[in-house]
Structure 1
Amino acid sequence: MRITDASPNLYNEDLAPAQKRNWGAFSIFNVWTSDVHSLWGYYLAASLFLLCGGFINFVIAMGAGSLIIFFLMNLMGYAGVKTGVPYPVLARASFGIWGANLPALVRAIVASFWYGAQTAAASSAIVALLIRNESLLEFHQTSFFMGHSTLSAICFLIVWALQLLIIQNGMETVRKFQDWAGPAVWIAMLVLAIGLVIKAGGFSFEHGIPQDVLLTATKDAGVPGEPGTFWALMAVAATWVTYFAALYLNFCDFSRYTPDKKTLLKGNLWGLPVNLMLFSLVAGITTIAAFNVYGEVLLHPEQISAKFDSWFLALLAALTFAVATLGINVVANFVSPAFDFSNALPRYIDFKKGGYIAALIALLLYPFAPWEGNAAHFVNAIGATMGPLFGIILVDYYLIAKGEVNVAALYQENGEYRFTNGWNINALIATAIGSLFSSILPMFTSLLPDWWAIYGWFFGVLIGGGIYYIAMKLRPYRRPA
């Protein structure tokens, strides 16, 4: 639909309902290949595979997690297909026309932080290739700039600039990049896996890694307990679901470009449960083969490529890891803040400028590299508030509004979604209480049991969404006709 009476403080062409809907199932499938096939995604998938303790356990735990992800993404995706609006605009229906800036900017801040972190990860893959040359290795070890190796800084700037080129023509360029990068990464992953399996003399689902070595190597995955036990499998499934917490919120940024629910469902089916299980399986088999070949637990793919004797294979691996990480950066950490910052000041900030702001924040953070220190804990605490936000938006859309949104009113200052001076107080209260239990108490106090943090996002969804539902029933707003 076209909006004819929008307020300029709430509207620009990028925030308007999508008019051109040419994202087919293949493009939606590649949203997920781009989001998952990163260096951190590989590490997490390989770790969780090993922590399942066996192939059957892997199918149960990772399969259950992947199906939950599929279900939740469809819930938010259907809202995008029906309304055609991006995440911050959809949030106006539950948080109010001005209150929507709260969930939008929370998502934007987290995305900007991880934009820098993923750019640094991609550039490190390039550095790992270059320092195979003795002269560049010496340069890397002796020359420094703003707290980093000069070589690392140069590679970071190059990768940072390349990402800006991807979004020069908006979401259409993003779609074209995904459609190329997703299959390319899959091909390179299979080449890596097959090569290592052949070198290892065959593939195996059983890793044979001593438990103490395994637990040390996978400690950052956040799964406690003995691998293969019931509670370990529960934690594996929960960790896998929580990994996608950010994209549950803003998946409608992509789904709004699909023509219908059937197309979205097909793309999500292949991109989520099917792709997630196969990706995890390949990552696990590759890690087991690498252990059999090198006698080490190499959960990071650049660690494996560093052991290649062939320059060509090392180059192929470095480029693959870089492209994979650029893919997740564009999908998870560029598109969302581009819309989110634009939503705050639509008169002055469009999609492209919003993306530039996110990239600039990442660049300014680079000298401090907060992703290498305790600041990541702080950002994760903020990110955990995405649980209550997700719960509130879904409850409002499906249970309060019954799937009916007055799209035109999302762009009106005195319309149906003004609430109290543009803010829905019920949503703010639900967010605060939900965030208390999803992030603040488990991360900054010892009042809750240790296992609580593993399921913090789930508690945030249930508590935030539940309180919002009760509040809207007890204190409903009288909305203008």
Structure 2
Amino acid sequence: MTVNNPSPSLYNEDLAPAEERKWGAFSIFNVWTSDVHSLWGYYLAASLFLLCGSFINFVIAIGIGSLVIFFFMSLVGNAGVKTGVPFPVLARASFGTFGANLPALVRAVVACFWYGAQTAAASGAIVALLTRNDSILAFHQNSHLLGHSTLEIICYVIVWALQLLIIQHGMETVRKFQDWAGPAVWVMMLFLAVYLVVKSGTFSFGAEIPRDVLLEKTKDAGVPGEPGSFAALAAVAATWITYFAALYLNFCDFSRYATDTKTLRKGNLWGLPINLLAFCLVAGVTTTAAFAVYGEVLLHPEAISAKFDSWFLALLAALTFAVATLGINVVANFVSPAFDFANVFPKHISFKRGGYIAALIALVLYPFAPWETGAAHFVNFIGSTMGPIFGIMMVDYYLIRKGQLNVEALYHENGEFEFQSGWHVNALIAFVIGGLFSSILPTFTSILPDWWGTYGWFFGVAIGGGVYYVLRMRGAPAAAALQK
């Protein structure tokens, strides 16, 4: 659609409703292959596999979690198809025309953390390959800077810079890149699994790993209960769902380019419950086979490929994993902050400039490496900050507005979504209360039980969305009276 006379402070071409909708089911499917099939995705899946204790437990926990992910992504994805707007613009309906900058900046900062984590994982694959050489290994062990080895810093900066090239030509280039990168890592993951199964001489799923090893590897996972217990399985499903917390918000950045909701549903069905479960099963088989071959639990695929006897195979695996991780970074952690930062100053920040800002923040974060706190810890803390935002937006769109939204008014300062001088106080109150219980109290105090943080995102969604609904319903009669 065409927006008539939009307010300059709310509009630029990147933020405008999508006019060209060329993304078919395969492109939507590859949003998820690019998002999941990364070194960090494998690391999380392998870590959660250890917590399940058996094949059937893993299938149940990951299967249920993947179905929940499919449901939530359908909610926000359908809103994107119908409105054609990116996440920060959609947030204006609930947070106000200028208040939407708050959730946009939260999402952008989270993306910067993930951008750094994924870039570090990709560069780690290159480091693992290079250190097969004795002289480079010596350099890696003896030369350090900013809390990391000099080799790690060099590889990080190189991978960081390569990612910037992908977005030079906008979202269509992103689509073409992910359509290639997603399937490529699937091929390498299957090769890795088959190679290790053949070398080990056995096909197993967890039975080869002794109980004492499982307990040792999972003791600091930040998940309640021993491997295989109900508490552990519930935490596995919750952590897997929370892993996608960022994309629950900005999946509409991609779904708005889909041809229709039927196409979106087909792409999501293959890309989420089916693809996610298959990927996790491959990660579990690979982890078990690697233990049988090397006698240790290796949760990082680059650590496995670095042990290959063939240098060529190690090179092929490292490059594939690195490229795949670049794919998720562009899809999940570059596109969103590019739109989010552009939403703050549309006249001065374009899609590309917003992406450059996100990349620069990720570069500054690298010396501190906040992502090196364990998979479950990092995922649950980062995810919990976005729960209230998702709850508020979905309650507003589906329960308050019944899926009907005046898209053009989203681009006008003095229209329906002005609320209180561009800010919606109800949404801000709900966000603060939801954030208090989802991330602040469980992270910085001991008031709540230890297990609370594992489910922080869910508490954020429920409390933030619930408070927002109550506040809106209390104000509904007064609003109706004013309209009369």
TM-score by length of 1: 0.96
Partner of 1:302: 302
Partner of 2:413: 413
CA distance in 2, matches of 1:229, 1:148: 37
CA distance in 2, matches of 1:144, 1:89: 44
Q: CA deviation at 1:315?
A: 0.5
Higher mean displacement: 453-462 or 66-75: 453-462
Cα separation, partners in 2 of 1:302 and 1:463, compared to 1, 3 Å: same
Q: CA deviation at 1:421?
A: 0.3
5 Å-filtered alignment, 1:346-425, equals 346-372=346-372, 381=381, 383-425=383-425
Is 1:450 aligned to 2:432, yes or no? no
Cα separation, partners in 2 of 1:67 and 1:10, compared to 1, 3 Å: same
Is 1:154 aligned to 2:128, yes or no? no
5 Å-filtered alignment, 1:29-428, equals 29-219=29-219, 221-372=221-372, 381=381, 383-428=383-428
Contact residue 107 and residue 383 of structure 1 kept, 8 A: no
Give SS of 1:222's match.
coil
Q: CA deviation at 1:210?
A: 2.3
CA distance in 1, matches of 2:126, 2:248: 31
Matched residue type, 1:71: F
Matched residue type, 2:14: D
CA distance in 1, matches of 2:337, 2:411: 19
Higher mean displacement: 441-450 or 91-100: 441-450
CA distance in 1, matches of 2:3, 2:250: 22
Matched residue type, 2:272: L
Query: Is there any run of 5+ residues in structure 1 with no aligned partner, and where?
Result: none
CA distance in 2, matches of 1:343, 1:364: 22
Matched residue type, 2:255: S
Higher mean displacement: 226-235 or 284-293: 226-235
Give SS of 2:8's match.
coil
CA distance in 2, matches of 1:151, 1:319: 17
Cα separation, partners in 2 of 1:155 and 1:358, compared to 1, 3 Å: same
Q: CA deviation at 1:136?
A: 1.7
Higher mean displacement: 73-82 or 144-153: 144-153
Partner of 1:441: 441
Cα separation, partners in 2 of 1:454 and 1:143, compared to 1, 3 Å: closer
Contact residue 385 and residue 431 of structure 1 kept, 8 A: no
Encode CA deviations 1:98-141: one digit per residue, 9 max, x unaligned. Answer: 00000000000111122122212211110111111122222323
Matched residue type, 1:347: K
CA distance in 2, matches of 1:176, 1:364: 29
Cα separation, partners in 2 of 1:174 and 1:219, compared to 1, 3 Å: farther
Q: CA deviation at 1:364?
A: 2.3
Matched residue type, 1:268: N
Cα separation, partners in 2 of 1:22 and 1:220, compared to 1, 3 Å: farther
Cα separation, partners in 2 of 1:373 and 1:242, compared to 1, 3 Å: closer
Higher mean displacement: 214-223 or 400-409: 214-223
Contact residue 44 and residue 221 of structure 1 kept, 8 A: no
Partner of 1:471: 471
Q: CA deviation at 1:231?
A: 1.9
Matched residue type, 1:184: A
Q: CA deviation at 1:208?
A: 3.1
CA distance in 1, matches of 2:151, 2:58: 40
Cα separation, partners in 2 of 1:306 and 1:104, compared to 1, 3 Å: same
CA distance in 2, matches of 1:110, 1:387: 12
Query: Is there any run of 5+ residues in structure 2 with no aligned partner, and where?
Result: none
Encode CA deviations 1:406-439: one digit per residue, 9 max, x unaligned. Answer: 0000000001000000011000000111111111
Encode CA deviations 1:336-360: one digit per residue, 9 max, x unaligned. Answer: 1000000000001010110011011
Matched residue type, 1:253: D
Q: CA deviation at 1:220?
A: 5.4
CA distance in 1, matches of 2:451, 2:65: 18
Q: CA deviation at 1:150?
A: 2.6
Contact residue 388 and residue 460 of structure 1 kept, 8 A: yes
Matched residue type, 1:325: T
Q: How many residues align?
A: 480
Encode CA deviations 1:270-312: one digit per residue, 9 max, x unaligned. Answer: 0000000000000000111111111111111112112111101
Contact residue 238 and residue 455 of structure 1 kept, 8 A: yes
Contact residue 8 and residue 347 of structure 1 kept, 8 A: yes
Matched residue type, 1:93: A
Cα separation, partners in 2 of 1:401 and 1:174, compared to 1, 3 Å: same
CA distance in 2, matches of 1:363, 1:206: 38
**Two-structure CA RMSD over aligned residues (Å):** 1.9
Give SS of 2:168's match.
coil
Matched residue type, 1:251: F
Q: CA deviation at 1:379?
A: 9.7
CA distance in 2, matches of 1:381, 1:292: 33
Contact residue 110 and residue 379 of structure 1 kept, 8 A: no
CA distance in 1, matches of 2:162, 2:386: 29
Contact residue 10 and residue 343 of structure 2 kept, 8 A: yes
Q: CA deviation at 1:178?
A: 0.3
Contact residue 437 and residue 460 of structure 2 kept, 8 A: yes
Higher mean displacement: 378-387 or 257-266: 378-387
Higher mean displacement: 134-143 or 100-109: 134-143
CA distance in 1, matches of 2:372, 2:120: 10
CA distance in 1, matches of 2:366, 2:241: 29
